[in-house]
Amino acid sequence: MKGIVAKRITKKFSDETLLEEASFVLPKRGLFLILGESGSGKSTLFDMLSGIDRNYQGELVVFGRSFKRMKEEECASFRLQNIGFLRQNYDLLPHETVLENVLLPAGYRKDRKALFYKAVTLLKEVGLLEKKKSLAYVLSGGEKQRLSFARALILDPSLLLCDEPTGALDKASALSLFALLKKESKRRLIVISTHDPSFFSSGVDGIFEIKNHKIICKKSIIPKEEGETALKNERCKFPFVYWMKHASHLLKTRKFRSAFAVLLLSFSFLGLGLSSYLSRNVTSKMGKAFSSLIGEKAIVMSLKNEKTPTVSDIQSALLEEVAN
């Protein structure tokens, strides 16, 4: 079983073609680069490799599974358990701790103690163990990317997609990240997209380039593969307590914004109540004023056979009322 098999993939946005009849094959393990200029379709390709984007022509099989043949819920569960992400903008929760960010994808799992020890081990490997109680927003760019890397590995994915992971890093941080990726590529398939291969050109197992809507192989050294890749296929259901925990944490860390929202909501309910009260009061006063104009007797008209009254009917009724 191969890691990724893409056959004649075509992807279009309206009249713009990003990929046309593109094909490539990647093994189950190793470190591979996807090169291409900005806008060439690297991020779109990653969305397809992860099953986020399934609107394309052709066949794309990831570790023996075709996203097009999965239901949406099944696709999301497979992605969560078997595919990790490392993005340029980190995708961290800034007001949660370093440790909480690492454990974030594992909220559906019940083996909390084992996951805690694994998270601590990962933080030690990336050099962030001493900052496990720090909030994510106080970290430097390199530290945030290493934290994102640790979080991507917490569920031990078979495929790790890195979209421009060094774009916002200095040279030292980029080299440090590359060393971590190289180490992990012996256990899993890692694909890196970048427009600047200077940090990765040596030491990778293969280089591909998106050019003229095709995916061209520029270098390929297939690493030795040992054993089978065990894919996880659990039902991923996050408990209600999980969502409430993060919601309450967000309220606590953003006290001013939360207080303003509560105040605004209170004024909204107060306005609705006042509007309802004034509406009933005005209606009552208008009724009394109308009664004083026409007297105590009301004009009552009965319709026979649901016939709509004409102007002459109304005039006759008014004259009869005046005469009385």
Query: What pLDDT, on a 0 to 100 scale, did the predictor assign at position 11?
Result: 93
Specify whether 258 is located in the same domain as 121: no
Based on the fold, state whether residues 143 and 281 are members of the same structural domain: no
Describe the crossing of helices 171-184 and 141-153 by its angle, rounded to 10 degrees. 10
Do residues 210 and 19 make contact, with C-beta atoms less than 8 angstroms apart?
yes
CA distance 68 to 73: 12
Kindly give the interhelix angle for 112-125 and 141-153, rounded to the nearest 10 degrees.
140
Is the domain of 42 the same as that of 76? yes
- In the chain, at which residue ranges do the beta strands (DSSP E only) sit? 4-13, 16-26, 30-35, 57-62, 65-66, 83-87, 159-163, 189-194, 206-211, 214-220
Q: What is the pLDDT of residue 26?
A: 92
The total of structural domains in the chain comes to 2
Neighbouring residues of 107: CB distance < 8 A, sequence distance ≥ 6: 238, 239, 242
Residues 188 and 265 in one domain: no
User: Are residues 236 and 156 located together in one domain of the fold?
Assistant: yes
Q: What is the DSSP string of 251-308?
A: HHHTHHHHHHHHHHHHHHHHHHHHHHHHHHHHHHHHHHHHHHHH-SSPP--PPGGGPP
Cα of 172 vs its chain's centroid, Å: 30
**CATH number of residue 108's parent domain:** 3.40.50.300
Asked if residue 20 belongs to a domain, the reply is yes
Instruction: Say yes or no: 131 and 234 in one domain.
Output: yes
In this prediction, residue 303 carries a pLDDT of 45
Q: Are 82 and 201 members of one domain?
A: yes
> Two tokens at 305?
């056979």
**Which pTM was predicted?**
0.72
Domain assignment of residue 271, given as a range: 254-293
Q: Are residues 139 and 169 in the same domain?
A: yes
Divide the 324 residues of the chain into consecutive groups of 10 and give the mean pLDDT of each group: 90 88 92 88 91 92 91 89 88 89 84 89 93 92 92 93 85 86 92 81 86 86 61 61 60 64 76 76 65 54 53 64 58
For residue 145, give every residue at least 6 positions away whose Cβ sits within 8 Å of its Cβ, in sequence order, or none.
86, 90, 165, 166, 168, 169, 173, 177
What pLDDT score was predicted for residue 269?
78
